Amino acid sequence: MQKMISIENFGNKADFGYDTTLAVFQAVSMSRKYPAATLSFPEGEYNFRADYAYEDYYFISNNGAGLKRSVFSIFDCTNLTIDGQNSLFVFHGLVSPFIIDISRNIALKNIIIDYEKPICSQGTVIDASANHIDLSVTEEYSYRIDGKKLILLGDGWEFPLWSIMEFDAIEKKPVFGSGDCCGGSDLSELLVEKLQDGVLRLKFPVRKIPAAGNLILLRPYLRTNPGIFIKNSININITNVKIYHALAMGVVAQKSENINLEKLNTMLKPDSTRVFSAAGDAVQIVNCRGAIKIDGCLFENQTDDPINIHGIYASIFKIVSENTIILKFMQFQQEGVKIIAEKDEIKFLDKETLLPYLEARVKHVVYLNKSFFLIETCENISQFIKERDLVENISDQPEVEISNCILRNNRARGILISTGGRVDIRSNIISVPGAGIKISGDADFWYESGAVKNVHISSNLFLNCNYVAAWGKAIIDIDPEIKDPEKLPECYHRNILIENNIFQTFDTNIIYARSVDGLIFRNNKIDKTDTYPRYHKERYTIKAEGCKNIVVNGNLFDDAFDPTS
Amino acid sequence: MQKMISIENFGNKADFGYDTTLAVFQAVSMSRKYPAATLSFPEGEYNFRADYAYEDYYFISNNGAGLKRSVFSIFDCTNLTIDGQNSLFVFHGLVSPFIIDISRNIALKNIIIDYEKPICSQGTVIDASANHIDLSVTEEYSYRIDGKKLILLGDGWEFPLWSIMEFDAIEKKPVFGSGDCCGGSDLSELLVEKLQDGVLRLKFPVRKIPAAGNLILLRPYLRTNPGIFIKNSININITNVKIYHALAMGVVAQKSENINLEKLNTMLKPDSTRVFSAAGDAVQIVNCRGAIKIDGCLFENQTDDPINIHGIYASIFKIVSENTIILKFMQFQQEGVKIIAEKDEIKFLDKETLLPYLEARVKHVVYLNKSFFLIETCENISQFIKERDLVENISDQPEVEISNCILRNNRARGILISTGGRVDIRSNIISVPGAGIKISGDADFWYESGAVKNVHISSNLFLNCNYVAAWGKAIIDIDPEIKDPEKLPECYHRNILIENNIFQTFDTNIIYARSVDGLIFRNNKIDKTDTYPRYHKERYTIKAEGCKNIVVNGNLFDDAFDPTS
């Protein structure tokens, strides 16, 4: 029995005025009384303020920890559907639209998410030199200048400028060869002055001078509130949801099972001049399990990668007893994320080679604090392991299907994948400035696990990817951070099949592969374009280091594609 | 059946080395398996580091919110005794010794608490003028100078200097007439330079020049970790516990019932040169109920008041429906403290007069976020109340007994009391620089509730109190912040009986009373001392404003005590 609840049961538009937040809280509370419920919004525009939004302390992987407010605070819910009926939801202040926690069978559909004041700002280049950029900033964006530092202002927040990026005025995509901070300029000494109302001069050593008329994206550092945060939940369906903006990543899921994203678009707000959608990755899936399906989505202009699916490596800090160890989180945005639970299977890996040498089952876990947690295993392990080695949760290895999506015009890469589960990347159009697909793994900085075992990349169109050198070595970039992989007995990754794709590219360097056992590149079509000038100094079609069992055949190369010239 | 657990079950001194924290965690975990347990420590010195200490997010009234670590994390425990057997517990880093949460029948006894690196520092005045103070700082205290600002350093923390205070070199008590920041000097432009190793020059406009040889206490602003924090717990006994230092307040209890403190001493570390004990109030009791007993305690040299027992006024921010309102916390260190629970009785008060006009019973509460909470009452209330008025929880009105304690040499006042429960302050020696007893209540800044109904102050010795003007108008200072109380139909406070006390004082101004109905001052002895010069310009024995039913009789005055001269 599905209980139908309308938001209008909790007031009408006049009651809500500029703030429907409390009505949503009441509606979600009411929905818990029914075994199944749909909360619907008559089509229209709804505003939600942060003031009365529900708050809890969350550690959000790759985003940050803190007291986080959310309007739709969906915790301890089962069988709940939120149907926006294509309404526009406009959020005000530091708040997440949705946090789904300890819930099951939750559907979000037909919703458009935007913010009154985005966390990003932008301006149009009026003039630029090796020492300055003059920007015209419209009234849509608020700022103040504090001792020659630019402070971006919003609704209840202010953050200093941290990073800038040049976007093409017409195509609204990152500019060839520019990347972060206009060619990697050092912004630490950046000074700002106001030339006249709405015109700012940024003074710093500009490494790649932006073109007049192009747009400069202005970003703060903090990722406060993702658009949709999913934690410890099962069976989450997000369908026909448009994210014009999120204050941090678009969708973040951690320690959850079965996530289905269908027609989830992080996209430019129509009829706006914005060059950004979500402020961070569009979709970040961390230590999840089950099936992750991403189908028919448009991911454009978010300020970081469209999709990143990975686990977290923790480091063995102290061996306490035969079966008890203290683990440490190694990257600050992973701290406090409860990546291992009782009954999970874990794998131990050598810190240097990233090769596994032992598996065990977890009997008991205590998260002592955000930095350290203690696990007790069913088996005695102390004699086999050593401090500083890594632990990975191998129960958290989702199967992934990414199909019929368009990925374009964002900062950095396309799809980042690290899971031992079956991965199927099929029929997508990928047009991003960095690697179109990146398969990595490291214990140096990100500590993102883990090795892939079965990846199928087929029937995708890679369209002029990899036009900013800093964001990828090749269009498909498989680069686990392992020293001298050729000296090791085993490879880190396994079984990557790349077939029936079309690579339309202005340059060479289709595949870079490191430490892969079983790489097949077959029946692909490679077309040369003239979109950008070639820039790779080391040119190749496929470069493999420390790999085994490589098969390349049946690929069709445009005559103009010539890595040897 | 009491299970006896020794910390030595979890390792020996060599195992613990410099860190017994994990052993304590394991021991407390084990204790939960028994209906009653005593965890004991063979007498000796134990060290506890913050690294593996258990952490949770806490809102600690009057201290601050955040992820807080504690070594003895006593949550969900019943019938647990921690017996230190007079051991010295030395803590390292930003960590609370004890957090007791959602527990019942907990006893702490025979424990000495200290820190390797206190949060306060101090130095000896070598030279001073109206523009500078030169300080000799021993190696015990660590600091660095960052752009002429003094940064105090500890074990895993660093905080900028926020406040200073002059202490007498011999008596180790605040200096007559000096108070905060050497006579209330403005430290905002304070610059520091190092004259030589261990000698610092503080440059700022010094309003009261400290004497060479005296000691200057150096304090940061943040109150990170109280010594013992008690929350949502019942029947807590603390006996024979010495707090040489706490990083914030000594003991903080909120929303708890029946707290017994017997021989709890916040005291100077013996054989040290320190002028401080706990960094904040010794005992802060907030929205508790039942019986609060404080007997035979020594409270000296904590950097704020010895005892403050009060509730919290919340402000009506929005009337949502006939029986639903949104309340707001008005003081930032009260934010997030869950002061009202289901079934509690609440009282509504006028914001201006602080007079009550309605009572109701709470049906449901939702803490939306740290700023706002929503309550639903059993009765319809909207027609009687108005926004901006106050709400007080009248179920949280503990009975208080404070007896046989010594209060001395701290910053500010003695006993601060605001509870409608019966209060018995008996046979204490109170020698503090501000008011010996302060009974207040306000809706301007602190929002500390509430009115007293039955206070008995008897057989205490008030010894040269009130020698810093900023910290009290009189030795007993009853000063609710109400404008024109004489114009109001009722008084805020009621029934304060002051009898058989001895006031030894260098000045006049024994009692200041505002808005009290029923003040009896009888059979007290008032002796004049020559300890300090008189400084009150307005001299009186008792001054009453807006009071009713005052009885003064049988008091014995020293001939030298003369408020008229």
Measure CB to CB from residue B54 to each of A53, A326, A369 and give the nearest one: A369
Tell me if A315 sits within 8 A of A328, measured CB to CB. Answer: yes
State the fold for domain B2-115+224-304: Pectate Lyase C-like (2.160.20)
What is the DSSP secondary-structure string of A169-202?
TTT-SB-TTTTBHHHH---TT-EEEEEETTEEEE
Q: By C-alpha distance, which of B459, B454, B446, B464 is closest to B533?
A: B464
- Say how far apart CA A516 and CA B341 lie, in whole Å: 59
Mention every residue, 6+ apart, whose C-beta is less than 8 A from residue A264. A238, A239, A241, A243, A250, A251, A283, A294, A297
pLDDT at B352: 92
- Say how far apart CA B144 and CA B150 lie, in whole Å: 6
Q: Which chain A residue shows the shortest CA-CA distance from B29?
A: A366
Q: Which chain B residue shows the shortest CA-CA distance from A372?
A: B52
Q: Which chain A residue shows the shortest CA-CA distance from B25?
A: A368
Neighbours of A483 (CB within 10 A): 11
Q: Place A560 in a pLDDT band, splitting at 50, 70 and 90.
A: confident
**A contacts of B53 (beta carbons < 8 Å):** 368-369
Burial B460-480 (b: 16+ CB within 10 A, else e): bbbbbbbbbbebbbbbbbbbb
How far apart, in Å, are the Cα atoms of A171 and each of A275, A478, B480?
Answer: 9, 29, 66
Residue tagged 């009986």 (tokens): B497
- Identify the helix (H) or strand (E) that includes residue B16: helix B13-16
Q: By C-alpha distance, which of B383, B459, B395, B335 is closest to B59?
A: B335
Whole-prediction pTM: 0.95
Residue tagged 């592969």 (tokens): A513
Cβ within 8 Å of B, A 328-367: 366
How many Å lie between the alpha carbon of B50 and the closest alpha carbon of chain A?
A: 10
pLDDT at B222: 92
- Identify the helix (H) or strand (E) that includes residue B181: helix B181-184
Q: Place A52 in a pLDDT band, splitting at 50, 70 and 90.
A: very high
Tell me if B226 sits within 8 A of B63, measured CB to CB. Answer: yes
Q: Place A18 in a pLDDT band, splitting at 50, 70 and 90.
A: confident
pLDDT at B16: 74
Residue A49 has pLDDT above 80, yes or no: yes
Structure tokens at A89: 């939801």
CB of A369 within 8 Å of a chain B CB? The answer is yes
**A contacts of B335 (beta carbons < 8 Å):** none
Say if strands A455-458 and A307-312 run parallel, antiparallel, or are unpaired: unpaired
Structure tokens at A547: 């790999």
Tell me if A183 sits within 8 A of A204, measured CB to CB. Answer: no
CB of B55 within 8 Å of a chain A CB? The answer is yes
End-to-end Cα distance, chain A? 68
CB of B69 within 8 Å of a chain A CB? The answer is yes
Predicted confidence (pLDDT) per residue in B500-532, tens digit: 999 999 999 999 999 999 999 999 999 999 999
Q: By C-alpha distance, which of B416, B387, B161 is closest to B283?
A: B416
What is the DSSP secondary-structure string of A392-459?
EETT---EEEEES-EEES-SS-SEEE--SS-EEEES-EEE-SS-SEEE---SSSS-EE---S-EEEES
pLDDT at B561: 87
What is the DSSP secondary-structure string of B187-206?
-TT-EEEEEETTEEEEES--
- Interval A342-348 mean pLDDT: 98
The DSSP 8-state label assigned to residue A206 in this structure reads -
- Identify the helix (H) or strand (E) that includes residue B285: strand B283-286
- Report the 3 state secondary structure along B295-355: ECCEEECCCCCCEEEEEECEEEEEEEECCEEEEECCCHHHCCCCCCCCCCEEEEECCCCCC
Domain ranges of chain A: 2-117+224-304, 121-220, 312-393, 397-557
B549 in the Ramachandran plot: left (φ > 0), alpha (ψ -120 to 50) or beta? left
**A contacts of B370 (beta carbons < 8 Å):** 55, 67
Tell me if A279 sits within 8 A of A259, measured CB to CB. Answer: no
How far apart, in Å, are the Cα atoms of B134 and each of A510, B200, B211?
Answer: 69, 6, 11
Predicted confidence (pLDDT) per residue in A190-234, tens digit: 999 999 999 999 999 999 999 999 999 999 999 999 999 999 999
Q: Place A86 in a pLDDT band, splitting at 50, 70 and 90.
A: very high
Are residues A69 and B370, on separate chains, in Cβ contact within 8 Å?
no
Name the amino acid, one letter, at B318. K
CB of A326 within 8 Å of a chain B CB? The answer is yes
- Say how far apart CA B492 and CA B114 lie, in whole Å: 41
Name the amino acid, one letter, at B176. F
Residue A15 has pLDDT above 80, yes or no: no
Structure tokens at A499: 């077939």
Predicted confidence (pLDDT) per residue in A368-407, tens digit: 999 999 999 999 999 999 999 999 999 999 999 999 999 9
**B contacts of A326 (beta carbons < 8 Å):** 22, 52
Mean pLDDT per 10-residue segment, chain B (565 residues): 93 82 96 97 96 98 96 98 98 98 98 97 97 96 95 95 97 96 95 96 97 97 96 98 98 98 98 97 98 98 98 97 97 96 97 95 98 97 97 97 98 97 98 98 92 98 97 96 93 97 96 98 97 94 96 94 81
Are residues A25 and B368, on separate chains, in Cβ contact within 8 Å?
yes
CB of A67 within 8 Å of a chain B CB? The answer is yes
pLDDT at A486: 93
Mention every residue, 6+ apart, whose C-beta is less than 8 A from residue B284. B61, B62, B63, B249, B251, B252, B253, B308, B309
Structure tokens at B314: 């919340």
Q: Place A332 in a pLDDT band, splitting at 50, 70 and 90.
A: very high
Q: Which of A67, A335, A375, A376 to mutate to test the interface with B (most CBs of B within 10 A)?
A: A67
Half-sphere exposure of A245 (CA within 13 A, CB side): 23
Tell me if A337 sits within 8 A of A63, measured CB to CB. Answer: no
CATH architecture assignment, domain B312-393? Beta Barrel (2.40)
- Say how far apart CA B185 and CA B164 lie, in whole Å: 9
Measured in degrees and rounded to the nearest 5, phi and psi for residue B449 equal: -95, 165
- Say how far apart CA A54 and CA A77 lie, in whole Å: 15
pLDDT at A290: 98
- Identify the helix (H) or strand (E) that includes residue B358: strand B356-367
pLDDT at A564: 80
